[in-house]
Amino acid sequence: MADPRTPVVLYGGSGYVAGELFRLLAAHPGFRVAAFVSHSQVGQFVSDPFPHLHGAARGARFVGAEEALASVADCPAIAACFATPHGETARQVCAALDLIEGRGQQVRIIDLSADFRLPAETFARLYGTEPAAAQRLEQFTCALPDLAHTALAGTGTLQHIAHPGCFTTAVTLAAYPFLVRGWVEPDLFVSAVTGSSGSGRMPTGGTHHPDRAHNLYAYAPLAHRHEAEMRRLLTIDGREPEVEFVPHSGPFVRGIHATLRFRLRGERTLDELRGAIDATYAGSAFVASTAIPPQLRMVVGTNHARIGLAVRGRTLVVTSVIDNLVKGAAGGAVQWMNRLFGLAPESGLSHDGLGWY
């Protein structure tokens, strides 16, 4: 009997986010991984770089892009997720779309790189090169699935998705409820700490364990690329907020803890402020306020975001925690896929966290 689930072609090789995508999709009731693309590991077992996925992989092997797309040639609708590096992603996306569109299939792309998040001129300034697929930019919406009902996702039909970065996810979810209501001045300071998995699988001076463990330091202060994404996603009614962003490298593997500081335009009670968060995300299964300052253990391993508040006079401090690999990437991608294919938002994402890890 044919598998009724929608096939997904997964690009990303042995990267951490690609592994998370495979883990989530392997147990998804509405999707199946039809092919896992890797250009450097064709023929190798998926469980070789991901031994923790031995059961889910069940002997699956990496394939090349041509073989992957040929395997879904007879499917009327497919999804493709790209967890590949910026620059490289755009070229692969274009090749895939040219072939799939030529066959008359319905396809939805979820891109987790930066290639389709920003206008061409902004991308060129930040990344030092012109975008590799500027002609496709208008087909992609850069937004968060929990805010897909708002003007931040635009008013047109959603075709393909450029999922925002992990820092951007944590900050946008925390800031939007107050900016959209006009309760705060449109400028904010953000200090955020991320785990080492955010830097990818290949070791660098910033991710090598002896440098990272028992250590904490800022990097790219006021110069991180995600700052431009935050400004763009938090532009409301044409007014772009001033964002001052200082990221930090933390001595843990998974998670982001972000602290935002606002200036209130008038005094608000804690109940009012929490009510704004809960009202904004009343339709989301994943975002909620907390009565106590949120901790990474509340969300690691899940697609959840938790937001805490502190207020004194006109100073508002908002804290936000997510799992960078799940809510900040793979889980957000699956959540978008659920929406694009008409499934319940929590499909394949309702599992609880790890608690201890």
b (16+ CB within 10 A) / e for 52-61: ebeebbeebb
| Strand partners of residue 261 | 189, 317
The Cα 7–Cα 78 span in angstroms is: 5
The residue among 141, 158, 192 that closes a domain is 141
Tokens of 357: 């890890």
User: Do residue 103 and residue 193 come from a single domain?
Assistant: no
Q: How confident is the model at residue 156 (pLDDT cuts 50, 70, 90)?
A: low
Q: Looking at the predicted structure, is the pLDDT value of residue 207 above 80?
A: no
The Cα 335–Cα 229 span in angstroms is: 20
**Does 337 reside within a domain?**
no
Q: How confident is the model at residue 209 (pLDDT cuts 50, 70, 90)?
A: confident
Work out the number of other CB atoms within 10 angstroms of the CB of residue 136.
Answer: 18
Which pLDDT score is estimated for 355? Answer: 79
Tokens of 228: 């431009």
Which pLDDT score is estimated for 149? Answer: 83
User: Do residue 105 and residue 189 come from a single domain?
Assistant: no
Amino acid code (one letter) for 121: E
User: pTM value?
Assistant: 0.95
User: Do residue 171 and residue 65 come from a single domain?
Assistant: no
Q: Looking at the predicted structure, is the pLDDT value of residue 257 above 80?
A: yes
* pLDDT, tens only, 132-148: 999 999 999 999 999 98
User: Do residue 49 and residue 134 come from a single domain?
Assistant: yes
User: Do residue 204 and residue 254 come from a single domain?
Assistant: yes
**Does 149 reside within a domain?**
no
**Does 195 reside within a domain?**
yes
Q: Looking at the predicted structure, is the pLDDT value of residue 357 above 80?
A: no
**Does 342 reside within a domain?**
no
CATH number at residue 89: 3.40.50.720
Q: How confident is the model at residue 243 (pLDDT cuts 50, 70, 90)?
A: very high
The distance of Cα 24 from the centroid of its chain, to the nearest Å, equals 14
The residue among 124, 141, 158 that closes a domain is 141
Q: Is 72 exposed, middle or buried (0-12, 13-18, 19+ CB in 10 A)?
A: buried
CATH number at residue 315: 3.30.360.10
Contact 319, 273 (CB under 8 A): no
* pLDDT, tens only, 77-113: 999 999 999 989 999 999 999 999 999 899 999 999 9
User: Do residue 63 and residue 200 come from a single domain?
Assistant: no
User: Do residue 178 and residue 53 come from a single domain?
Assistant: no
Q: Looking at the predicted structure, is the pLDDT value of residue 206 above 80?
A: no
The Cα 152–Cα 215 span in angstroms is: 37
Which pLDDT score is estimated for 212? Answer: 87
Q: How confident is the model at residue 50 (pLDDT cuts 50, 70, 90)?
A: very high
Structural domain containing residue 180: 167-323
The Cα 70–Cα 75 span in angstroms is: 10
User: Do residue 183 and residue 91 come from a single domain?
Assistant: no
The Cα 150–Cα 152 span in angstroms is: 5
Mean pLDDT (whole number) for 296-316: 97
The residue among 126, 141, 156 that closes a domain is 141
**Does 159 reside within a domain?**
no
Number of domains in the chain: 2
**Does 340 reside within a domain?**
no
The single residue of 75, 81, 142, 166 carrying the catalytic annotation is 166
**Does 25 reside within a domain?**
yes
**Does 348 reside within a domain?**
no
The Cα 291–Cα 252 span in angstroms is: 25
Which pLDDT score is estimated for 1? Answer: 58
Determine whether 142 is an active site residue.
no
Q: In the chain, pLDDT over 90 holds for what percent of residues?
A: 85
Contact 188, 242 (CB under 8 A): yes
Q: Which helix (H) or strand (E) holds 26?
A: helix 16-26
User: Do residue 36 and residue 183 come from a single domain?
Assistant: no
User: Do residue 172 and residue 107 come from a single domain?
Assistant: no
User: Do residue 135 and residue 256 come from a single domain?
Assistant: no
Tokens of 38: 């890797």
Greatest alpha-carbon span in the chain? 64
**Ordered DSSP codes for 31-49:** EEEEEEE-SS-TTSBTTTT
Q: How confident is the model at residue 3 (pLDDT cuts 50, 70, 90)?
A: confident
SS3 139: helix
Q: Looking at the predicted structure, is the pLDDT value of residue 353 above 80?
A: yes
User: Do residue 310 and residue 171 come from a single domain?
Assistant: yes
